[in-house]
């Protein structure tokens, strides 16, 4: 059973869930929208069996004590700083990192801007941000897939649509996941201010103007499901050209967006392989 703990970073209280041998190599796990640490449960079991220490963070907006008001408080550099603050608080000079969805965006930024802190990274579902930005500007399929951004960035309306009628629209996003997990995610985002905080991640960034990033030389394994309804092939296949270091692309035919739940063995094995190679 993972140990729930809290840590204060940037004057905010975050909760994280730690399991595995305390002296094992550490991996930080970063969830996406609209989930929390629970999306990593099946992956964590496999990592712990391999002797790896897992640290699954409930990120800014998802930890009840880390929901500052205002869109500006959810800018990507602040999200990145939260993870660096976690490493510092846990006295971890280096770690591995894996992130899904928005957690993948944070993962890409972490290894780009803090390469000395990470021994390897496994971004899941979301391509390199520059590759994604290029696809969003030029690929009609990605443009169609990303039309929901307009709703999510509309303050008030998005919250009303997603939480109305017992959160029916929000529940639809999770189609196919285990009912108890879906209920837990819905209950989390039904807390006062929680959904607004989660949506502020979208509102704080201009996806059509993704800035250039420092060259990435860390070992990267990018995992993507071919049936992802939000993230298309063009950005996924362009990601390798944005990575200067060791790179592996794992495509999962027939797998949708929820990769850590659908293919936990693949994700865990990708992390374990990096840990063993470090």
Distance between CA 161 and CA 153 in Å, rounded? 12
Distance between CA 171 and CA 182 in Å, rounded? 7
CATH architecture of the domain covering 3-277: 3-Layer(aba) Sandwich (3.40)
> Per residue of the chain (278 residues), what is the pLDDT tens digit?
677 999 999 999 999 999 999 999 999 999 999 999 999 999 999 999 999 999 999 999 999 999 999 999 999 999 999 999 999 999 999 999 999 999 999 999 999 999 999 999 999 999 999 999 999 999 999 999 999 999 999 999 999 999 999 999 999 999 899 999 999 999 999 999 999 999 999 999 988 788 889 999 999 999 999 999 999 999 999 999 999 999 999 999 999 999 999 999 999 999 999 999 98
Q: Tell me the backbone φ, ψ of residue 110, rounded to 5 degrees.
A: -60, -50
Taking the alpha carbons at both ends of the chain, their separation in whole angstroms is 27
- 248: three-class secondary structure by DSSP: strand
Nearest to 11 by CA among 74, 82, 69: 82
Helix (H) or strand (E) holding 119: strand 118-124
Q: Tell me the backbone φ, ψ of residue 165, rounded to 5 degrees.
A: 55, 55
Q: Where are the domains of the chain?
A: 3-277
pTM above 0.95, yes or no: yes
Distance between CA 248 and CA 88 in Å, rounded? 29
């Amino acid at each position: 059973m993972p140990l729930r703990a809290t840590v204060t970073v940037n004057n905010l209280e975050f909760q994280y869930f730690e399991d595995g041998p305390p002296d094992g190599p550490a991996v930080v796990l970063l969830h996406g929208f609209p989930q929390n640490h629970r999306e990593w449960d099946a992956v964590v079991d496999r990592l712990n069996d391999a002797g790896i220490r897992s640290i699954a963070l409930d990120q800014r907006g998802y930890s009840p004590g880390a929901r500052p008001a205002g869109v500006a408080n959810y800018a990507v550099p602040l999200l990145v700083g939260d993870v660096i603050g976690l490493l510092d608080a846990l006295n971890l000079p280096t770690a591995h990192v894996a992130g899904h969805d928005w957690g993948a965006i944070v993962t890409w930024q972490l290894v780009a801007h803090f390469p000395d802190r990470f021994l390897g990274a496994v971004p899941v579902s979301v391509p390199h941000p520059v590759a994604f930005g290029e696809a969003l500007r030029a690929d009609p399929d990605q443009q169609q897939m990303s039309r929901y951004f307009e709703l999510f960035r509309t303050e008030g309306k998005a919250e009303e649509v997603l939480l109305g009628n017992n959160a029916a629209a929000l529940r639809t996003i999770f189609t196919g996941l285990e009912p108890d997990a879906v209920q837990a995610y819905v209950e989390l985002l039904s807390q006062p201010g929680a959904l607004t905080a989660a949506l502020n991640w979208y509102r704080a960034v201009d996806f059509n103007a993704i800035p250039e990033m420092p060259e990435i030389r860390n070992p990267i394994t990018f995992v993507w499901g071919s049936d992802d309804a939000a993230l298309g092939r063009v950005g996924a296949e362009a990601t390798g050209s944005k990575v200067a270091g060791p790179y592996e692309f794992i495509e999962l035919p027939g797998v949708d967006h929820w990769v850590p739940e659908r293919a936990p063995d693949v994700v865990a094995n990708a992390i374990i392989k990096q840990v063993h190679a470090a």
